A and B are shown apart, each in its own frame.
Chain A
C-alpha cells in the first residue's frame, strides 16, 4: 500500500475522532454523559500498542508471560468498588486535577512533593509515549513496506504525530477547571477502545477460521513445536514467582498510571459507573487476551524459520495473505491504542506540569496581577504548549534512545517507576500516620534503586556495553542482594518497593508530621464522615480578610462565579455576607475553588500570600480533630434522635386528634342520649304533676295520664336498655354464639310477638321463600333481635292496611333477606343515616317516634358482627330493607 494512501486513511481516522469529540461536546446528550459504558471503555486506555503488538511478541517468544500484565489488573479491580469510590469522593471534594495533586494534598499540600511526583510521572511516561510513537512509525512503514526514513522531516510518521499533538492540545485544554469533565476526549477514547478491540477480533477470526481451520487446528499444529509445552506452563517455582511479581507490578500500575488515574478518577462522572467498570473492564481484557494467543502461535507457524519481529505478527499475517483490508484495520487498531495512550497521558502530564511545576515556580506573581480571562487564557496556553512539548520530547526520546529496545521491557520499566508512588498513594487513604517526610524519603530511595537497577543496565544493554570501573565494583557489591529465581525487573520491583515502603512506614511512625498533614490525613481516611461539610474539618487559625481572598478568587474565576460561590458558601454556613474576616472554613473553601484551576499546591500558595496563619501545635490539632469527630458522631446521633422525637410527636398529635374527635363524638352521643331520655321524663313528670295537683280531673283523663306515665316509663326503659345494649355490642362484650340454625324458624320466632300489633293495624304480612336450603350459621338470639327491630320499624312506618313482605333468597354465597313495606319513602339523603344512633331526619313527619331511635343502629351492629351488611332503599310504593349474610 502506498504511503500516501495510508496517510489519507490516517487522516480520515483522525477526522473521525475530531468529529466524535466535536459532536459529544456540542450535544452533551444525557445519554452520553450518564453512560457507564463510556466510562468503562475509557479505562481500556490501559491497552496500548504494547498490548496490541508487544503482547503478541511476548506470547510468541515466552508463552504465558504475556498474561500477568492483565491478570494483575483483574485481581486488583474488584477492590475498586470500595477504594476507587472513596478516591473519587476525595478528589471531587478537593477538586483534584491530577495524580500529583491527590498525593501531595494529602501530605500537607506541599509544592515540592507535587513537583517531585510530577517529575516521576514525566520520567516514567515520556519513554512510554515514545514507545507508542515507535509503534506507529514502525507499523506505518510495515504496512506501506517502506523503510524508516532517517530524515525526520520526510518521515510520514512524524506528521501523524504532529496531528495527534494538535488534536490533544485542542480538545484536552478546553476546560481549565478540574471539575469540568472532558466529554469530547473521553468519547473519542471510548470509541478508540471499542475499535481496537473490534479490529483485533476481526484479525483473530481471520486467523482462526480463514488461515487455519479453527482453534483446535492452530492448537494441534502449534503443539508440534518443541517449546510449546514449556511455553505454556510455569517454569517451576522460578517461573511462577516471576509471574506473581509481574502480576503485582501490573496490579499497581493499573491504579497508579497517570492515564488510568485520569480516566478512572478525574473523568468519573458518577460513582455508580465504577460498578459497571469492575465487570466490564475485565471482560474487555479477557476478550483481548483470548485472541492474542492464537494470533501469536499462528505467527510462529506461518513464519517459522524466518527472521521476523514477532511483535508485529498482527500486521504481518494479513499482509502475508495479501489481505490489505485487514492489514489496514489492524494498523488502525494499533493506531487507536497508541493514540489514546498518547492523548490521555499528554493531557494529564500537562496538567501536572502546569499546576505543579510551571505555575508555582514562576508564574504566580504574574497571575496575581492579571484578571480572570487573561489568567484562564494563560493557563490554557501553558497546558497546550506542555502537551506539544511533551509529545515532541517523547518523539525525540524514541528516535535517539529506544530504537533497539523491545516494547515489553520499556513498558515494564515504566511500570516499576510509577509503582514507586504506591506506598504514598495507598497510604494516603488508609493510613493516618503517613507523613510527608516518610513519603519523600521512601520515594527517593525507591527511585534510586530503580535508577541503578533498571535504567543504567538498560542503557548499557541497549548499547551493548559492559559495566566499567566504579559502576562495576558497585554492582558486584550489590550482587549480594540478588534474589535467585527473579528476573531483573521483578527483582528491582521487589527491592524498591520493600525499601520504599519500609522507609515510608518507619519514618512516618518515628517522626510526627506537621498538623496540616494530619488534618488532610483525617479528611482522606475518613472521607465519608466529612463529605457533607469538609470545610469544617479544615483546621486553620490566623487572620484573613474576605476581601483579600475574594480578590484572588476573582482573578481566576471571574467576578460572577466568585459572587455565586460566596453566596453558596454563606448560605451553607449561615454566615452574614457582610462579614469581613475569613475563618478556616472559608480558607478551605477558597483553596478548593482555586485548586480546580491551578492545582492544590499553587492554590495554597496564593491564599497563603494574603493571609497570616498562626502556628498551631500538632497536639492541638489532634485534639480538635478528635473533638470534631466526636461532634460529628454526636451530631448524627442527635439528628437521629430528633427525627425519632419528631416522629413520636407526630404520632402523639395524631393520637390526640383522634382522641379529641372521639371525645367530641362521645359528647355528642351523650347529648343526644340525654335529650332522648328527657323527652319521656318530661312527659312522665308533667303527667305526674297534674295528677298530684289536680283533684278534680275527669276519670278518663286521669286514666289517660296514668297510662301515659306507664307508656313513657316503658319507653324510657327501652331507651336505656337499648343504649346499654348497643354499647355492649360495640365493645364486643356480647359474645356471638354462632351455630347452625334454620333461618325460617328464626324468623317465625321473631315475628310471633309482633303479629298482634300487625293485625291491629290491619297490615298484611307475607313471606316469599326462594331458598333451597334453610340452614345457616348465625347467632339466633341476635338474629331474632334484628328481625324484630326491622319488623318493628316496618310496622311503624307502614300505613294502615298496608303490606309487609319478606323475601328469602341466596345469591353469590350470600343469604339475602329483604323486608318490604308500603309507606312513605325515606328521603335520599337519609337512607344511610337512618342506621345512625338517634338519627332524626329533618324531613320526618312523625313527631313522636315510638321506640328508642336506636333500633336500626342495633340492627346494623348485629349484622356487622356477623360480617354482613344491611341497607335500605326506596322501591316502588314503599321501602325495602336488605340484609345480607355471607355464608361461611
Chain B
C-alpha cells in the first residue's frame, strides 16, 4: 500500500508539463505534497 503511494504520485508529476503558464505547477506540487502528508497521517492513525 505504501509503495503504491509513490508510483501514482510520481506519475502525476510526470503528466504535468509546461501546461500552465503560471507557477500553478508550483502550487499543484505543494498541494499534492500536503495531501500526501495528510493521507500518511490518517493511515498511521488508523493503524494504531
A touches B (Cβ under 8 A): yes
Size bracket of the A interface: 20 to 34
Known A-B contacts A75-B6, A229-B21, A234-B17; A286 and B30 likewise in contact (beta carbons under 8 Å):
yes
Please tell me which one of the listed residues B2, B14, B17, B34 contacts residue A82 in the complex, with CB atoms under 8 A apart. B2
Task: Considering the complex, give the chain A residue whose CB is closest to the CB of B21.
Answer: A229
What are 16 A-B interface contacts by the 8 Å CB criterion? A64-B26, A67-B29, A75-B10, A78-B40, A81-B2, A81-B44, A82-B3, A232-B23, A232-B26, A233-B25, A234-B25, A239-B18, A244-B14, A278-B44, A279-B41, A293-B26
Q: A282-B33, A286-B33 are in contact. List 12 more A-B contacts (CB 8 A).
A: A78-B3, A78-B6, A79-B6, A81-B44, A82-B3, A229-B21, A233-B23, A244-B13, A244-B14, A279-B37, A279-B41, A283-B37
- From 233 to 260 in chain A, residues with beta carbon under 8 angstroms from any chain B beta carbon are 233-237, 239-240, 243-244, 247
A534 interfacial by beta-carbon distance below 8 Å:
no
Please tell me which one of the listed residues B16, B37, B44 contacts residue A286 in the complex, with CB atoms under 8 A apart. B37
- From 1 to 25 in chain B, residues with beta carbon under 8 angstroms from any chain A beta carbon are 2-3, 5-6, 9-10, 13-14, 16-18, 20-23, 25
A15 interfacial by beta-carbon distance below 8 Å:
no
A437 interfacial by beta-carbon distance below 8 Å:
no
A71 interfacial by beta-carbon distance below 8 Å:
yes
Query: Which residues of the other chain, B, contact A710 by a CB distance below 8 angstroms?
Result: none
Whether B17 contacts A275 by the Cβ 8 Å rule is no
A330 interfacial by beta-carbon distance below 8 Å:
no
Whether A286 contacts B2 by the Cβ 8 Å rule is no
**Contact string against B for A residues 220-236, beta-carbon threshold 8 Å, 1 for contact and 0 otherwise:** 00000000110011111
Closest approach, in angstroms, between the C-beta of A701 and any C-beta of chain B? Answer: 91
**Counting chain A CB atoms within 10 Å of each CB, which of B5, B9, B10, B37 scores highest?**
B37
Task: Considering the complex, give the chain A residue whose CB is closest to the CB of B42.
Answer: A279
Query: Which residues of the other chain, A, contact B9 by a CB distance below 8 angstroms?
Result: 75
**Counting chain B CB atoms within 10 Å of each CB, which of A228, A279, A282 scores highest?**
A279
CA distance A228 to B26 in the complex (A): 12
**Contact string against B for A residues 64-75, beta-carbon threshold 8 Å, 1 for contact and 0 otherwise:** 100100010011
CA distance A71 to B16 in the complex (A): 15
Closest approach, in angstroms, between the C-beta of A198 and any C-beta of chain B? Answer: 19
CA distance A74 to B34 in the complex (A): 11
A744 interfacial by beta-carbon distance below 8 Å:
no
CA distance A64 to B13 in the complex (A): 13
Known A-B contacts A234-B18, A240-B14; A71 and B29 likewise in contact (beta carbons under 8 Å):
yes
Size bracket of the B interface: 20 to 34
Known A-B contacts A244-B10, A286-B34; A235 and B2 likewise in contact (beta carbons under 8 Å):
no
Whether A232 contacts B25 by the Cβ 8 Å rule is yes
**Contact string against B for A residues 261-288, beta-carbon threshold 8 Å, 1 for contact and 0 otherwise:** 0000000000000011011001100100
CA distance A286 to B26 in the complex (A): 12
Query: Which residues of the other chain, B, contact A243 by a CB distance below 8 angstroms?
Result: 13
Query: Which residues of the other chain, A, contact B48 by a CB distance below 8 angstroms?
Result: 275
Whether A276 contacts B44 by the Cβ 8 Å rule is yes
Query: Which residues of the other chain, B, contact A282 by a CB distance below 8 angstroms?
Result: 33, 36-37, 40
Query: Which residues of the other chain, B, contact A275 by a CB distance below 8 angstroms?
Result: 44, 47-48
A754 interfacial by beta-carbon distance below 8 Å:
no
Query: Which residues of the other chain, A, contact B16 by a CB distance below 8 angstroms?
Result: 234
Task: Considering the complex, give the chain B residue whose CB is closest to the CB of A77.
Answer: B40
Whether A78 contacts B25 by the Cβ 8 Å rule is no
CA distance A652 to B46 in the complex (A): 39
Query: Which residues of the other chain, A, contact B18 by a CB distance below 8 angstroms?
Result: 233-236, 239
Task: Considering the complex, give the chain A residue whose CB is closest to the CB of B23.
Answer: A232
A826 interfacial by beta-carbon distance below 8 Å:
no
A775 interfacial by beta-carbon distance below 8 Å:
no
8 closest A-B pairs by beta carbon, nearest first, are: A232-B23, A279-B40, A75-B6, A78-B2, A78-B5, A279-B41, A275-B44, A233-B18
CA distance A661 to B21 in the complex (A): 87
A290 interfacial by beta-carbon distance below 8 Å:
yes
Closest approach, in angstroms, between the C-beta of A477 and any C-beta of chain B? Answer: 33
A76 interfacial by beta-carbon distance below 8 Å:
yes
Query: Which residues of the other chain, B, contact A283 by a CB distance below 8 angstroms?
Result: 37
CA distance A74 to B30 in the complex (A): 12
CA distance A680 to B34 in the complex (A): 92
Task: Considering the complex, give the chain B residue whose CB is closest to the CB of A232.
Answer: B23
Closest approach, in angstroms, between the C-beta of A503 and any C-beta of chain B? Answer: 25
CA distance A236 to B30 in the complex (A): 20
CA distance A244 to B13 in the complex (A): 9
**Counting chain A CB atoms within 10 Å of each CB, which of B18, B20, B34 scores highest?**
B18
Query: Which residues of the other chain, A, contact B22 by a CB distance below 8 angstroms?
Result: 229, 232
Whether A290 contacts B30 by the Cβ 8 Å rule is yes
Query: Which residues of the other chain, A, contact B44 by a CB distance below 8 angstroms?
Result: 81, 275-276, 278-279
Whether B6 contacts A71 by the Cβ 8 Å rule is no
**Contact string against B for A residues 778-811, beta-carbon threshold 8 Å, 1 for contact and 0 otherwise:** 0000000000000000000000000000000000
Closest approach, in angstroms, between the C-beta of A312 and any C-beta of chain B? Answer: 23
Whether B33 contacts A247 by the Cβ 8 Å rule is no
Query: Which residues of the other chain, A, contact B40 by a CB distance below 8 angstroms?
Result: 78, 278-279, 282
Task: Considering the complex, give the chain B residue whose CB is closest to the CB of A285.
Answer: B33
Task: Considering the complex, give the chain A residue whose CB is closest to the CB of B20.
Answer: A233
CA distance A82 to B44 in the complex (A): 12
Query: Which residues of the other chain, B, contact A232 by a CB distance below 8 angstroms?
Result: 22-23, 25-26
Query: Which residues of the other chain, B, contact A82 by a CB distance below 8 angstroms?
Result: 2-3
Task: Considering the complex, give the chain B residue whose CB is closest to the CB of A80.
Answer: B2
Query: Which residues of the other chain, B, contact A235 by a CB distance below 8 angstroms?
Result: 18
Query: Which residues of the other chain, A, contact B23 by a CB distance below 8 angstroms?
Result: 228, 232-233
Closest approach, in angstroms, between the C-beta of A277 and any C-beta of chain B? Answer: 10
- From 36 to 84 in chain A, residues with beta carbon under 8 angstroms from any chain B beta carbon are 64, 67, 71, 74-76, 78-82
Closest approach, in angstroms, between the C-beta of A69 and any C-beta of chain B? Answer: 13
CA distance A243 to B29 in the complex (A): 13
CA distance A79 to B40 in the complex (A): 11
Please tell me which one of the listed residues B6, B17, B29, B47 contacts residue A237 in the complex, with CB atoms under 8 A apart. B17
CA distance A681 to B5 in the complex (A): 89
Whether A71 contacts B25 by the Cβ 8 Å rule is no
Closest approach, in angstroms, between the C-beta of A731 and any C-beta of chain B? Answer: 51
CA distance A71 to B5 in the complex (A): 13
Query: Which residues of the other chain, A, contact B3 by a CB distance below 8 angstroms?
Result: 78-79, 82
Please tell me which one of the listed residues B2, B21, B30 contacts residue A79 in the complex, with CB atoms under 8 A apart. B2
Whether A74 contacts B10 by the Cβ 8 Å rule is no
CA distance A229 to B21 in the complex (A): 6
Closest approach, in angstroms, between the C-beta of B18 and any C-beta of chain A? Answer: 5
Closest approach, in angstroms, between the C-beta of A871 and any C-beta of chain B? Answer: 51
Query: Which residues of the other chain, B, contact A278 by a CB distance below 8 angstroms?
Result: 40, 44
Query: Which residues of the other chain, B, contact A293 by a CB distance below 8 angstroms?
Result: 26
CA distance A564 to B3 in the complex (A): 42
CA distance A67 to B25 in the complex (A): 12
Please tell me which one of the listed residues B14, B25, B33 contacts residue A74 in the complex, with CB atoms under 8 A apart. B33
